């Protein structure tokens, strides 16, 4: 191990959380390496427009916000490397990461891999993601003022987000694959009494169709009759579940909640000394960019405190 470089901190994931954390750590001369297996900026980077991030009264393109965060982190000396971390293990006072660039060692690790929305895996979903297909009503709902929408899902998130979307949309079709809601009775009652919401049971999504680069309809299939039906829409909001990106933490001792999100204390420390977690991958996260950035700053200060105590 003597001939291997030991990093002060390795951050896994290059979304807003890690980029914000890197601004703090790198600025304080804490040697910082960020590993990202996909898109720098995470889900924010593939969001068409971010309208609720403080400081941008006219909104900002998700890609531009992500790029600004990247440039700021790099200006202070953070290094971003594209690659994937497959396993994380504790070795005495260090943390070993097996990566596509080989084995790496760090004094501390920040897990900021976020979470992934469960996909429908139907034609058109990936093509129109961020440009008509969304997973966040509070982020993107305002773009559909006085327009038609389709919401897919049967749980509390689908019901809550559909109710929120009625602030903007004048007609929302809710497509539920099963024959009943999985949401709470209180939410179901709220949905039932809202004239803008139209619930369709036993309907699965076959395809999301668009014209001229915009979503125009959802093709649904009735599981009882087997018939296909078109639901005209300007946008689709999919809420069929979230899954945290934590596959590389198996057998590390990091504690997860029932849904697989990482448990931390108020300092964003996990059960394993030296491993921190922040942002959407953390149990209790709000799934908002602004709070993700805030948690990144908190994590960075906790990491600095940890390194100073070593």
Ordered by start, the domain boundaries in the chain are 6-116+242-309, 119-238
Q: Is the pLDDT of residue 263 over 90?
A: yes
Please write the tens of the pLDDT for every residue from 194-232.
Answer: 999 999 999 999 999 999 999 999 999 999 999 999 999
What stretches of the chain adopt beta strand conformation (E)? 6-12, 32-36, 79-82, 85-91, 94-99, 102-111, 115-117, 133-134, 148-152, 171-175, 197-200, 203-211, 214-222, 228-232, 235-238, 242-244, 275-277
Task: Give the chain's mean pLDDT.
Answer: 94
**What is the pLDDT at residue 116?**
81
Q: Is the pLDDT of residue 4 over 80?
A: no
3-state SS assignment for residue 10: strand
Mean pLDDT of 92-107: 94
Q: Is the pLDDT of residue 2 over 60?
A: no
Using 50, 70 and 90 to split pLDDT, how confident is the model at 22? very high
Q: Is the pLDDT of residue 180 over 50?
A: yes
- CATH fold for domain 119-238: FAD/NAD(P)-binding domain (3.50.50)
Mean pLDDT of 187-199: 97
Q: Is the pLDDT of residue 186 over 80?
A: yes
Mean pLDDT of 54-74: 93
pTM, two decimals, is: 0.73
Mean pLDDT of 175-192: 96
Using 50, 70 and 90 to split pLDDT, how confident is the model at 261? very high
Using 50, 70 and 90 to split pLDDT, how confident is the model at 169? very high
Name the phi and psi angles at 17, rounded to 5: -60, -55
**What is the pLDDT at residue 287?**
84
Domain 6-116+242-309, second-level architecture: 3-Layer(bba) Sandwich (3.50)
Asked whether this chain's domains 6-116+242-309 and 119-238 adopt the same fold, the reply is: yes
**Is the torsion defined by CA of 157, 160, 166, 168 positive or negative?**
negative
Mean pLDDT of 169-190: 96
Using 50, 70 and 90 to split pLDDT, how confident is the model at 190? very high
Residue pair 46/139 in contact (Cβ under 8 Å)? The answer is no
288 vs 124, higher pLDDT: 124
**What is the pLDDT at residue 152?**
98
Q: Is the pLDDT of residue 43 over 80?
A: no
106 vs 116, higher pLDDT: 106
Using 50, 70 and 90 to split pLDDT, how confident is the model at 52? confident
Q: Is the pLDDT of residue 99 over 70?
A: yes
Q: Is the pLDDT of residue 40 over 60?
A: yes
Phi-psi region of 92 (alpha: psi -120 to 50; beta: other; left: phi over 0): left
254 vs 136, higher pLDDT: 254
**What is the pLDDT at residue 48?**
67
**What is the pLDDT at residue 1?**
45
């Amino acid at each position: 191990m003597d001939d291997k470089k030991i990093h002060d901190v390795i951050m896994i994931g290059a979304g807003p959380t890690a980029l914000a954390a890197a601004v703090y750590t790198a600025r304080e001369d804490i040697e910082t390496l960020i590993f990202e297996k996909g898109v720098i900026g995470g889900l924010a980077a593939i969001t068409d427009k971010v309208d609720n991030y403080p400081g941008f009264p006219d909104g900002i393109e998700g890609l531009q916000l992500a790029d600004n965060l990247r440039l700021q982190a790099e200006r202070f000396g953070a290094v971003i490397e594209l690659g994937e971390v497959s396993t994380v293990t504790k070795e005495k006072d260090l943390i070993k990461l097996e990566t596509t660039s080989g084995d790496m060692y760090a004094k501390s690790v920040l897990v900021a891999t976020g979470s992934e929305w469960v996909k429908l895996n139907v034609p058109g979903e990936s093509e129109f993601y961020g440009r008509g297909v969304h997973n966040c009503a509070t982020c993107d709902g305002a773009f559909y003022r006085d327009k038609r929408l389709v919401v897919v899902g049967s749980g509390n998130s689908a019901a809550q987000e559909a109710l929120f979307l009625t602030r903007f949309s004048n007609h929302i079709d809710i497509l539920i694959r099963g024959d009943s809601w999985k949401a709470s009775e209180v939410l179901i009652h709220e949905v039932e009494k809202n004239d803008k919401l139209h619930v369709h049971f036993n309907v699965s999504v076959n395809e999301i169709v668009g014209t001229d680069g915009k979503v125009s309809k959802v093709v649904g299939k009735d599981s009882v009759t087997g018939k296909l039906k078109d639901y005209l829409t300007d946008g689709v909001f999919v809420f069929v579940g979230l899954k945290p990106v934590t596959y590389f933490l198996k057998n590390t001792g990091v504690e997860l909640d029932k849904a697989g999100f990482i448990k931390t204390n108020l300092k964003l420390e996990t059960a394993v000394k030296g491993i921190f977690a922040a942002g959407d991958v953390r149990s209790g996260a709000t799934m908002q960019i602004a709070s993700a950035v805030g948690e990144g700053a908190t994590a960075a200060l906790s990491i600095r405190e940890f390194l100073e105590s070593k």
